[in-house]
Structure 1
């Protein structure tokens, strides 16, 4: 399970999120484990059933006004109830709100981080959720090549030395973009979205047997690289097997699955004389047509039916 601590949040986003630490320096190592956040509205009234203690608690103007209405002793009681829990992470005040005396006592006593942002609640929440969605998304690492061809994210897989990197290099020479070579980090973001990216150590690099490691950014320019891309098609390269029946019409559809998300997959057999990069380009364009609702097979069937009907008259 992916996690980050409060200190990482501050290091990476204090400037963007206008965040400052008010109290609780001893709790900066506390782990954020979930992408969701929470507004402790009902909890401040004393209702704690199903309360998500493990989430970052956000206090906006409404919660803040109600807290001040409660008075010091009740504030301390309610805040202690929320943040003394073993899974409590931190609290963030929005819109530059000042901490109350009760907050000063509770967060100092518990050593739980109390942070503040000058951003409004709505703008801060959307940015924070997006950040957590990226940092805490479940992820795996696989061997392959990730490219963007005509704007479509393509993951190229196959056994070692089958020609994945060489195919990617040819695609780059044709003006397409390299995302990652060798080790691909795949993470599942919100909904059914899969995103592929490179490991930091091999970013912009590609290995070509006979030449070695080359830097795509230096050789071809920044326009030929992407930090990450949606995974929208998987292309599997394999050696041509004369005994195997390969897809010739495209009636059957195949999928690869990551994190219970199905991604369309096609298999391209490798043989001398085959222009693999050109086939990948064609597959990309064909997949884009499918996403827009057009099917060549369906169109062919309609033509055949029309011809059969005409000949039967």
Structure 2
């Protein structure tokens, strides 16, 4: 039974199959038996139920799953044992069980990708810090941890798409809770700073890209130009921060996260500045017209 593969997250409730309709039977899904299916099966003869369950126990059927703590029919156990299909049970209501299993399978079966960067939880926001090797990502993450924020992943971040709007990042098992600092080596963040300094995973809300300061680049000074980076099917907000001696990157990134949260709640400092500027222009225009008059 252990070699049964689950390749799709969809769950099937085999009501039609119990009536003998198998034209479109999704045999590669977990077959969920709830109150309706169990009640219907009790009205079938032993031979009819055995025939139906025998047809349902296909080579690619991952499992039979029974909700609400119901006792599986003996015919189900018999035919499942013959076909080596696991029979599982749960006390959860059928709809709730279907939702939990589907959500779990969506995460486990999602396509994963590794990205170079550092993922930090800042005030509950997952901030992915990217940039060229040696630009100071890990050192900045260490400063953020000392300021009370939490490390999720350093150097390599495994990301996957949870739903149409959400990208989740986590650390590979071999790097979990570890941080590499040049000149020191590998440090164990949980042992040094406590369990409150780490998280296993987080939704990525913002990407902060660090790049070496160049006098030839005209950096955005008022935040009027929005940037995004595509990860799978989700476009995530992105800001670029130039790095040079004397800039406290931890405080800058912390402020960027706070500003992003404020924008998400409807407060945009850039728009406030534009309104103030427009008001100032109108005042000066009115004064100039009054002077000419």
TM surpasses 0.5: yes
Task: Check the 8 A contact 2:164/2:233 in 1, yes or no.
Answer: no
Greater shift, 203-212 or 118-127, is seen at 118-127
- Structure-to-structure mapping, 1:214-293, within 5 angstroms: 214-293=187-266
Residues 266-300 of structure 1 deviation map (CA, whole Å, 9 limit, x = unaligned): 11111111111111011101110111122222222
Q: Which of 175, 184, 189 is matched with 2:148 structurally?
A: 175
TM-score normalised according to structure 1 size? 0.86
Q: Which residue of 2 aligns with 1:30?
A: 4
Q: Which of 147, 150, 172 is matched with 2:120 structurally?
A: 147
Q: Secondary structure at the match of 1:70?
A: coil
Q: Which residue of 1 aligns with 2:44?
A: 70
* CA distance in structure 2 between the partners assigned to 1:102 and 1:261 by the alignment: 46
The higher radius of gyration belongs to 2
Greater shift, 48-57 or 216-225, is seen at 48-57
* CA distance in structure 2 between the partners assigned to 1:46 and 1:241 by the alignment: 71
Q: Which residue of 2 aligns with 1:89?
A: 62
* CA distance in structure 2 between the partners assigned to 1:245 and 1:110 by the alignment: 67
Cα distance, 1:194 vs. partner? 0.9
Q: Secondary structure at the match of 1:115?
A: strand
Q: Across the two proteins, how many residue pairs are aligned to each other?
A: 286
Task: Check the 8 A contact 2:17/2:25 in 1, yes or no.
Answer: yes
Task: Check the 8 A contact 1:72/1:101 in 2, yes or no.
Answer: no
* CA distance in structure 1 between the partners assigned to 2:261 and 2:92 by the alignment: 39
Task: Check the 8 A contact 1:144/1:157 in 2, yes or no.
Answer: yes
Cα distance, 1:173 vs. partner? 0.9
* Gaps in structure 1 of 5+ consecutive residues: 1-26
Task: Check the 8 A contact 1:32/1:55 in 2, yes or no.
Answer: yes
The answer to whether residue 14 in structure 2 is matched with residue 40 in structure 1 is yes
TM-score normalised according to structure 2 size? 0.91
* CA distance in structure 1 between the partners assigned to 2:24 and 2:285 by the alignment: 68
